[in-house]
Each structure stands twice: as structure tokens, then as C-alpha cells.
Structure 1
């Protein structure tokens, strides 16, 4: 049985001196861990679990290099529990049963709960997951699954229902920069014994090309530093060429966090808005070749579908979300084709920004009128007291009407008649424009401002 044997602080068992830099710099405590503040921040889910030691099973879903394995080891250490580490690539039913036996023995002898850290859990087949299920259900094992794939596609529903899915994000450039500088300065585990500094363009390219993956950034950094000769002052000045060679990727005129990044994404967005599939494919290819994270582009496509197409073609949003999910399943390069397909679909779809405008105006008005009371007839009335006070009185249930719609006012009284959404006559949106206008006219006729 392979138990977790990670670096857990300077006083714990150290990793090998010849291990890759990413392994040597693996955080051993929450104080060293960088990123994932939405899970580890004060009062967030993992902070609560660690502080209260109220255990439950988790599936950690996130991209490579985001800290899943490290986080699992820290959880085990901080909660003073036993941990068994298995990889679904190599583990089968026999290894799972051995883990169950070990967990029972640890509890009998030490009264310690056991986490089963199952790396690449999406690779377990259904039979193996079924073997694991009853032991998670009865509490013999606490599951800590780690996966880069969407767990809703890869993990059986009964097992997934007994574990909470925690989504880890790509590390930001600022977070990666923090990790890189820590490695350059650390004399015990890092590169501090090789005084070095990165040129500005070398650091920018390293952080951009790593794509939010700390492992890629650190291992490339190690190669770049150790292959750069020191100057007369014994300082290694790591330049752009050294980083390019370490990553085996050349720089394109592109700064993921700077002006050129925003210029290119602006060009892509405006090409889609302008319904030019050829230009849009060109800018998409430029960004991918420059090392842009494909899922960032997929997220931007989802935004374009709502901002620039909306209900003129509601399937544009479906297409964009499908491209995002397809890339999560396939990765590069296969998943990039789905992204290109979505971009072309968005270009060819009829355009409307009326949802974007309507929601912006609604948000503005809501911010100014946040104290306006909910009309009594559409308030919830779960108790007799509230019914006596008039909650829900005179509410007309639209499904009871032959049209499936009634001329009713749902706004606060002083906002009755407000209109945010003005549909165009294009695509699917245009089919409903006349119906919506007639309904609004009927509502205006029935409104009684003195009521």
C-alpha cells in the first residue's frame, strides 16, 4: 500500500535532493500554500474542515499543477489523520480492498480516521468505483479524489453524491510569480544556492507559458537557471532565450497579462461581433499559438454568446458551453477544434445585445431601488399568519389560464410599467417581439396605480 510521502514542512521527512524543483518546493503547510483562496480563505470550506475536523469526502477537480496532491497531503496532516495514496492508473479492486483493511486496522489501533487519496480518480472503472462506494458510505474511508476531468462525467452518481466536489482554479500570474520567487530564494529546497534573477521579459514569458501550472513553471525555471552561466559577480541572469529553451517554446509578440493580450482578445471578440468567421479564426489561432489558455478563450466565447447574440440565437450559448466542456474532456489539440467550431457558430449566428443592455439597466435600477417592497400578491405565504396578512392574496396562477399567461404586474408598485428588454427583429428574438409588445400593452391596461 502506497502511503502519502510528501514534504510536510522542514521538520518532516524531506524529499530527495535530486527530485525536480516542483517536488522539492511542494508546500508543507497552509502558510506555504499559494492560491485557491476560495477554498482555503478564512471561513471557506477547507478552512472550516481543517479547523473543526468535521470530516467529509471530497473530490478535488482542477487543472494540472493547481495543487490537488499537495492540498490532500496538507489536509491529512492538519487534521491529524491517516492517509493512503493510490493512483487510479495503477490501482484496482485488490488495492482498494487492501486500503479498507488498512483503514480498519488503523482505527482499531490508533483511533485515527483514514483518508483515501485517489489520484486520477476518473480512471477508475465502474466496478472499481462500486467496490469503493460502501466503504465511503459507512465511513471506513474518507475519499479525497483528485481529477483533471469533469467528475460529473467520469464518477458514478452514487459515489459523487457522497462527496463534495471542490473546484481548483488555474494559478494566476501573480500567484505563479510568488511561487517562482520563493523557489529562487529558498536555499534549502530551491535555487537559493545559485544566485539568480530573471529578466523582465523572461519572467513574463515563463508565467504566461506555464498556463497557471506551477509544476511547469518550476521545472522550467530549474532548467533555465542551472543552464545559465554565472557572471563575474556569480549572478545568473536568466534571459528570455534561456526560458524559451527550457520550455521548448518560442515567444510570440504577446503578453498574457499586458496590452497585447487585451488587443488580441479584443480583435477576436470584435470579429465575432462583426460576424467574420475568417478573421475570428485567425485571432483565435494567434492566441492559441502564443500560449493562451484554451479554457480562457472558451470562457470568453460563452460571454460573447450572451453579450452579443443572446436570444437572437439561444443555441449559441449551448454551443459555447459545449465547446468549453469538450475541451475539458479532450484537452489539446483535439479540444481546440471544438473551440474553433464554437467561434465560427457565434460568427454566423444573428446578433443581439438586448439581453446585455436589459440586464445592465435592471442592475442599475435595482441598485437605486433596493428597498422597494415585494407586492403582497406575489409574496410567499407558508404560514396561516402570513396568509392572514395578505401574502399571496389575489395571486393568479398563469398555468390555470388557457393562454398560460395572465395580465399581471410583478414589479413593486412605484416601478410598474418599467421596460428593460427591447428585443430586435432578428432570429429567434424577433419571433417573440410582437407577442411581448401585446402582452405589455395588456398589462398597462389593467394596472391601477391607486391599488
Structure 2
């Protein structure tokens, strides 16, 4: 029987009670220096900074030889009956049934430190069965099956596999919202915000030179805040981490900051952390950001639709540059919608559809400058078309667009901006504008009692002494709104708004009182003159309280010469 021996290594055998015990050891490849080392000594080898081993010293370390096959390392095992060694390999010939076989089955050991270079593409079931030797049992090797019931590589099923993968990829792309598919990935494709991202825009220059500071992007929904952050992630050489205050807590943020700190220490590469909807974190939670931003561990990019003056921690805001993004105009929305429609149709279905323009124009008007809303509505509209070649018509857009809400937040900027617009329209005697702003608030769901309360103030502040019926009418309106509520009280509010806008105005009392408050603020609290002090007791009268006071009704025939202001303010006049 022929044997394959390994030069430089001597097999070892031990006899115990007339039986042979096989002794073997294995070698593994060091993951650092890639030398082959005895497995039991790998830790000592690494701790010793990977000393160089020659081939002879390696042979002295191991009594058996291990080679790594495509799949598993196989050990050479020696038996004492023949004092020869059998090496298992993938091309071992089938043993003859007539011989008394003493062959041993190959022992497979998981490659603990198998080099990555030896990794091969996964094999099919058929090729794996063909390449591996059949295991032996009782000295007789099982015959290799002549055929395996698996599809061959040339079968139609196998050939169709890449096509299926492609279909899965296309399905994943098709499932993405249209707004995500047309999102720009470069500044060239970005539409709007010319003051910041135009040729001379400050933000564009910062991005081009990769000198981007910590910043807060403040703007209405659908104006491009998230898109700008993702464009920065593709153009900067820094690491980029994206989080959202709606789905991540402070623990996630702190972990991201600590990871950024470790990454900076190891590689010297800075990290940008983008936090969408940053205003949803409380100011106490935002305190967590301060040390990392202040020390330059991270560069923060926050996106918010709320006024950062009220919603972002003042200390954090002082360390960030605030960029204000404007609402997109109608032409910009139309350009975005046109690109979205072309993306949906695909290159093979492009054609000159003049009917699309009118529908896209109307959709841009409906969208209130919100590109995301416009694209989402467009996606609904095109899903109603019979084919991709069919033009988009105006009726289809109207059917798809349901204006279910207005941009209005009862606790946000719109709340205060619109009530301010209503008040100023009344002061300016523009009844039409006042009615419009009233309608904007009521349709958006504002509390009618809040509006009525502000109109009571307006009746005294702006109408004042010019029309003394305005204040009673305002109070009657408040009572009516309190008693009957919406929707019936909307006409009552409109009645009051028109009356206040069209009546005469006087701010004498309003201005006089403001002057009084300023005088009190700028001067000490002067004492009340003695002659107008109250004297309810004998002691107070003895002290001079009320002495010299002239009771005005007793002097009907002649004017009373008497002062009422403190001596220091005798010549002060508050009313015009």
C-alpha cells in the first residue's frame, strides 16, 4: 500500500493495552503576521509580538501536519499497524473493495483563523458533493453517487436566478416613495435656497471647502433640510451619522457621540451627527450635546421646523450657525414635480406631454411650497393613470389632492404670526385682510375663545376712546363663543372683526398707560402726597393724613386748585 509522507515531520504513536492511540496536533494561521503556529501556542505567539518562525522550527513544534483545503483543514493521521501516513484530499481515489482497508476518515476541523484570501464563492449543492470525498465507515468507502437530483448550472432554473435577484432589487426600488426616489444627491440637482446654495451662497462655499460648522437648518416642511444634510454626507470627507428625535432617544445620541469620540482618537477623522426634528428633544436633553459640540468632538447638524430661539437650548444655539431656509416658490415646485414625473415614467416612456404642465402647475399651487407634499400627491395622481404614457390631467390632480390640513401649529410660530396679522389688519382698517386671517385660524382648528379674548384686547387697545361701544360688543362676542361654540360662533367673530376694522380708532389711553409703565420703571416709588392719603383713624389724622384735601363736589361753582401727582412728577403729562 502506497503512502504519502510529509518531509521534516515524524508521526508519533503510543501503545496502551495493545491498542493504538493517535496523537495529533494542529496549526493555525496567526491573524496578525499570517505565520502558521501550533494552536496551543497561538496566544503566547501573539503576546510575544509575533516572532519569526522558520520552517524547521515550525516542524519541531508540531508532530502532525495540517493543510487547509477549500472548505476545512484536514489532519494527517498515522496508524502503527502500517507505520505509514495517509493524507486525505479531495482527489483521493476510491479504495478497492477486495483489500482489507485500514484507511481512516478525514478529520475536519473548523478553520479558526482561516485567511480571507482563501474564501471562495459559495458552491452549489451538486458541486460540493462532487468535490468532497465520501466518508468511510468500517474500512469500506461509500461509492460516490453518479448523479444528484439538483438542477445543473445550465438548467433554465439556474440561469433564471440572476433575473430573480434583479427583480427583487427593482421591486425594492419601486416600493420607495417617489419623494425618496427623486431626492437630489448633489448640489447641482438641488432646487431652491439660492441665497444659501447658489454660486455665491455661504453654505455652498462651506460645503465645497469641507469647512462645515455645527449648524441648525430652520425652515418649513418640504423645503430641503434633510436633503441638504444628506448631500453634505456625500461631499464631506468626515464620518456621518444620521439620527432622528422621533425614533432615537438620548441614550442613542450619547452612544453616537461616544463612538464619534473614539473614532476621532483612533483615526483623527471628525464626525458629523445629523439630528432631524431636533426641537423634539427637550432643552434639558439638549444639554447632553453641549460638551461634545464645544470641544469639537462632533459637528452637529440639526433640522427643525420650529423657531430655534424658543425650541433649542440657548447655550447650544450660541455654538451653532443658524441657516434659515425659505419656502419653495411655485416655479421651484413645478421643476421638482416635472423631474418626479419623468422619474416615474422612465426613459423608455418619455414624451412631450403638454397637458402635464397645467396639472403640475395647479398641483404646485395646492402644495403651499412643500415639495414633499407635492411629490406625495403626484405619486397618488399617477397611480390613477391607465398607463405611463397617459398624460396627467387637471381633474386627476384635483381628485388626488385632498387639502386635509393647513400649516398651522397652535403652539408654534404660525399660531402667533397669524393672530398678529389679524390684529394688525384691524388696526390698519383692512376688513378683508382681517376676515382672511380670522378664517385661516378657524379653519385650522384654533380655539375661538382664544381669538375672542384677543379681540377684547384689540377693542380697548386700538379702538379705545373713539368708539366706546366696541368693548361691550367684544365682551358680548366672547360670551356668545363661550355659550354656543363652533361652528356657529364663526359668524359672530366675523361680525366683531368687521366692526373693529371699520370703526374709528384711538390709542390715547393705550399710549398713555405705556408711558406710565415706563415712568414707574425709570423712577423710584415716590410717596403719596399727604393731602390725598387715607385717614381712617385718629392717629393718622393727627399725623397729618388727609389734611388740606378739598372735596371736589363742594366746589361746583369754581375750579379746585389741587395736585394729585407726587411733587417730583407735578409737570409730567401722560395723555396726549
Kindly tell me: are residues 203 and 287 of structure 1, through their superposed partners in 2, closer, same or farther at Cα, counting changes over 3 Å? farther
Higher relative contact order (CA 8 A, sep 6+): 1
Structure-2 residue corresponding to 1:142: 299
Task: State the 1:342 CA deviation.
Answer: 13
Alpha-carbon distance in 2 for matches of 1:114, 1:342 = 57
Alpha-carbon distance in 1 for matches of 2:370, 2:433 = 27
Poorly superposed stretches of 4+, deviation over 3 Å: 13-16, 190-201, 268-274, 279-291, 340-346, 348-352, 431-434
Alpha-carbon distance in 2 for matches of 1:208, 1:241 = 15
Matched, 1:70 2:224: no
Alpha-carbon distance in 2 for matches of 1:26, 1:91 = 23
Could you tell which deviates more after superposition, 162-171 or 120-129?
120-129
Kindly tell me: are residues 143 and 276 of structure 1, through their superposed partners in 2, closer, same or farther at Cα, counting changes over 3 Å? closer
Gaps spanning 5+ residues in structure 1: where? 1-12, 251-267, 292-308, 310-335, 353-430, 435-451
Structure-2 residue corresponding to 1:95: 252
Q: RMSD of aligned C-alpha atoms? A: 4.2
Alpha-carbon distance in 2 for matches of 1:124, 1:284 = 31
Q: Equivalent residues in 2 for 1:161-310 (5 A)?
A: 161-186=318-343, 193=349, 198-230=355-387, 235-249=389-403, 275=429, 277=431, 279-284=432-437
Question: Does the residue aligned with 2:269 lie in a helix, a strand or coil?
Answer: coil
Task: State the 1:341 CA deviation.
Answer: 13
Could you tell which deviates more after superposition, 14-23 or 124-133?
14-23
Alpha-carbon distance in 2 for matches of 1:103, 1:342 = 59
Which one has the bigger helix percentage?
Answer: 1
Kindly tell me: are residues 153 and 29 of structure 1, through their superposed partners in 2, closer, same or farther at Cα, counting changes over 3 Å? same
* TM-score, scaled relative to structure 2: 0.42
Task: State the 1:156 CA deviation.
Answer: 1.0
Alpha-carbon distance in 1 for matches of 2:441, 2:231 = 35
Structure-2 residue corresponding to 1:132: 289
Kindly tell me: are residues 78 and 276 of structure 1, through their superposed partners in 2, closer, same or farther at Cα, counting changes over 3 Å? closer
* TM-score, scaled relative to structure 1: 0.53
Kindly tell me: are residues 109 and 282 of structure 1, through their superposed partners in 2, closer, same or farther at Cα, counting changes over 3 Å? same
Tell me if structure 2 keeps the 8 A contact 1:133–1:158. yes
Alpha-carbon distance in 2 for matches of 1:208, 1:269 = 27
Question: Does the residue aligned with 1:143 lie in a helix, a strand or coil?
Answer: strand
Matched, 1:106 2:263: yes
Q: Equivalent residues in 2 for 1:375-386 (5 A)?
A: none
After superposition, give the CA deviation of every residue in 1:337-389 in whole Å (9 maximum; x if it has no partner). xxx9998798369679xxxxxxxxxxxxxxxxxxxxxxxxxxxxxxxxxxxxx
Alpha-carbon distance in 1 for matches of 2:227, 2:497 = 36
Tell me if structure 1 keeps the 8 A contact 2:330–2:364. yes
Number of aligned residue pairs: 280
Q: 2:311 aligns with which of 127, 140, 154?
A: 154
Question: Does the residue aligned with 1:49 lie in a helix, a strand or coil?
Answer: helix
Structure-2 residue corresponding to 1:382: none
Task: State the 1:160 CA deviation.
Answer: 0.5
Structure whose CA Rg is larger: 2
Tell me if structure 1 keeps the 8 A contact 2:240–2:273. yes
Alpha-carbon distance in 1 for matches of 2:233, 2:246 = 22
Task: State the 1:289 CA deviation.
Answer: 10
Alpha-carbon distance in 2 for matches of 1:246, 1:78 = 37
Kindly tell me: are residues 93 and 222 of structure 1, through their superposed partners in 2, closer, same or farther at Cα, counting changes over 3 Å? closer
